[in-house]
Amino acid sequence: MHLKYESQLREPLVNGRKTYHDVTEEIIRPIEAKPGKLWYVGFYIAVALLLFGVYSVYRDVTYGIGQWNLNKTVGWGWDITNFVWWVGIGHAGTLISAILLLFRQGWRTGVNRAAEAMTIFAVMCAGQFPIFHMGRVWLAFFIMPYPNTRGPVWVNFNSPLLWDVFAISTYFTVSVLFWYSGLIPDMATVRDRAKTKLRKLLYGIAAFGWTGSTKHWQRIESLSLVLAGLATPLVLSVHTIVSTDFATSVIPGWHTTIFPPYFVAGAVFSGFAMTQSLLLVVRKVYHLEDYITIGHIEAMNKIIVLTGSIVGVAYLTELFMGWYSQSKYEGYTFWYSRANLFSPYGWSYWGMMTCNVLTPQIFWLRKARRNLFITFFISVLVNVGMWFERFVIIVTSIYRDYLPSSWSVYYSPTIWEIGFYLGTFGLFFTCFFLFSKYAPVIAVHEIKYVLKTTGESYKNEMGALEREPVEEFAHEYAH
């Protein structure tokens, strides 16, 4: 792929006059140095959040789901909202790695490692919710189809919740494989640079005996291609299946056929927003501005504005169908429970609309796309908005469904409900801090791939070469 030709009009993907050595040095140095003060502060905050989350979950498991403010009408609230939110975030990594790999998008190299790590951690966080939202989590193994002595009793293959189990575990497995296979050459680099025996041993194990032989390179290339091929449909399937958790129901607001594409678009949207938020911090903290360039950021912003507009269209389609279907139940859900700002949850709908549809439109402006501050701000807003979206879909549909007699309100969450959510942040950032400390946050070998085609210095030289009159070039080469 580094044999490809890239137009001079494209911005370089690696800035600065980097050599292979520079790349190695700059990316791997943070792993070898003692982490800075900020790292410790961040890490301890993350661990503290994680511990709070563990305690919150302990309460939920010991005392019951009544620790949360769910009720007879609203059986899912923050739990499943957070689940879908995290799963959505977990979409960018694989999309970047797999789909962009297949599409030969060179710019993915700067961001794919971190995005993949983010995916894995996000899916880990997501997984906590469906597990611990169960009333009897100690029997969670019932959802596994395994031969048993109870009849045998099998799982219900009709249930979208079961499909979830398969979809998410498959996605997680493939994502981990993909991520780790990409890490192997870099682990070998770290191993080779290791100065202590312990580091050598550990990174040696982590590198799986990588020697850098051509055969190894050939194999890892094929492996990534195969995994990319496997992961691509998964990117689409995971959120499609998550959407069927709702779409296969009979509840107005859930029972909607546009859910699969709408959920996938939303997931990519939130995934990229989260990637943006994280990378903007990472590139600053680890001084990786040369590798994660404004060009990268702009590319991702383009995806954000595209997917944001897709979900916007989906929202409007829902509203339109709420009216066009002439179903009073759907009409009520979409036009009263949601679109009416003064209904009990109207604020969440308009929060969603503002954060997901309106504000990202600023990215039609090139200046805004290339402005780090705006990008960071919008990316945070998008994640807030996407959280609202899931909340809107889940809560505003069920709190007032068919029988007015059963209408209720899902009150503000309890501290333990919030604690669980914060705990997953803790888990996410604990993992992310450890990852950024012990593994290269940028795929060193992939940067090296593209360095000679898209690195600034090479590009300039190649440009100079291109601008050279043919005669001169011929003359030079004649020598």
Partner 1 sequence: MEQKKHWQSFGELTNSEGYQESAKDEFKEDLPVWEDDKGLFSAATPRRDFLKYLGFSTAAAMVAASCEVPVRKIIPFANKPEDIIPGVANYYATTYIQDGEAVSVLAKVRDGRPIKLEGNELSPITQGGTSARVQSSVLDLYDTARLRFPTIDGKETTFENIDAEISKAINGLGNAPIVILTTSIASPSSKDVINQFIAKHPGSRQVTYDAISYSGMLLANEATYGKRAIPSYKFDNAKVIVSLGADFLGTWLSPIEFAKQYAKNRKINEKAPTLSKHYQFESIASLTGSNADERYLHRPSETGAVAVALLNAINGQAINLSDAALKEGVKKAAADLVANKGNALVVSGSNDVNVQIIVNAINEALQSGGKTIDWSSTYNTYQGIDTDFARLVEDMNAGNVGALLIVGANPAYTWFDSARFVAGMKKLKFAVSFNPKNDETTQLCKYVIPNHHFLESWGDAEPKTGYYSLMQPTIYPLFKTRQWQDSLLKWSGASTDYLGYLKTFWTAKAGGETGWDKAIQDGVLNPATVPTPIGAAFNSGAVNGALAAIAAYKKGGKVEVVLYQKVSMGAGQTASNPWLQEMPDPVTRATWDNYIMISPAMAKTLLGIDLNIAREADNYEVTPAKPVVKVTANGKSYSLPVLIIPGVHPDTVGIALGYGRTKEIGKAADGVGQNVFPLASMSGATLSFVATDATVEKTGATYPVALMQTHNVYTTPQGTRTEVMKELTLKEFKKDPEEIRNDRQKELAPFGGLKNFEKEGTIYPYYDKPGIHWGMNIDLNACTGCGACVIACHAENNVPVVGKPEVLRFHDMHWLRIDRYYSGNPDNPKVVFQPMMCQQCDNAPCENVCPVGATNHSSEGLNQMAYNRCIGTRYCANNCPYKVRRFNWADYTGADSFPDNQRGIVNDVVLMMNDGLTRMVLNPDVTVRSRGVMEKCSFCVQRLQEGKLKAKKESRPLISGEDNKWDVKTACQQACPTDAIVFGNVNDSHSAITITRKENELRLFKSLEQLHVLPNVTYLAKVRNVDEVAEKAEG
Contacts with partner 1, residue ranges (CB under 8 A): 62-67, 69-76, 130, 133-140, 142-143, 153-156, 158-162, 165, 245, 248-251, 328-329, 331-332, 335-336, 340, 342-344, 398, 400-409, 411
Written as one letter, the residue type at 233 is: P
- Within 10 angstroms of residue 405's Cβ, the number of other Cβ atoms is 5
Tokens standing for 189?
């680099």
Cβ distance to partner 1 smaller for residue 8 or 248? 248
Cβ distance to partner 1 smaller for residue 400 or 448? 400
Helix (H, G, I), strand (E, B) or coil at 133: coil
Dihedral (CA of 355, 358, 361, 367) sign: negative
Dihedral (CA of 310, 314, 315, 320) sign: positive
Cβ distance to partner 1 smaller for residue 340 or 354? 340
Cβ distance to partner 1 smaller for residue 33 or 139? 139
Tokens standing for 179?
């991520």
- Crossing angle of helices 20-32 and 415-438, rounded to 10°: 130
Cβ distance to partner 1 smaller for residue 55 or 377? 55
Q: What is each CA distance from 15 to 149, 242, 391, in whole angstroms?
A: 63, 40, 41
Q: How far is the CB of 413 from partner 1 (least distance, A)?
A: 12
Cβ distance to partner 1 smaller for residue 169 or 408? 408
Q: How far is the CB of 239 from partner 1 (least distance, A)?
A: 18
For residue 471, give every residue at least 6 positions away whose Cβ sits within 8 Å of its Cβ, in sequence order, or none: none
Burial class (CB in 10 A: 0-12, 13-18, 19+), 259: buried
Cβ distance to partner 1 smaller for residue 328 or 479? 328
Query: Which H/E stretch holds residue 27?
Result: helix 20-32
Tokens standing for 214?
């051509």
Q: How far is the CB of 120 from partner 1 (least distance, A)?
A: 24
Compute the distance between CA of residue 421 and CA of residue 49 in angstroms, rounded to an integer.
9
Q: How far is the CB of 57 from partner 1 (least distance, A)?
A: 14
Dihedral (CA of 243, 249, 251, 252) sign: positive
Tokens standing for 6?
């890239």
Cβ distance to partner 1 smaller for residue 261 or 344? 344
- Within 10 angstroms of residue 436's Cβ, the number of other Cβ atoms is 23
Cβ distance to partner 1 smaller for residue 401 or 446? 401
Q: How far is the CB of 151 from partner 1 (least distance, A)?
A: 10
Instruction: Supply the DSSP symbol for 14.
Output: B
Compute the distance between CA of residue 276 and CA of residue 254 in angstroms, rounded to an integer.
30
Contact 363, 378 (CB under 8 A): yes
Helix (H, G, I), strand (E, B) or coil at 312: helix
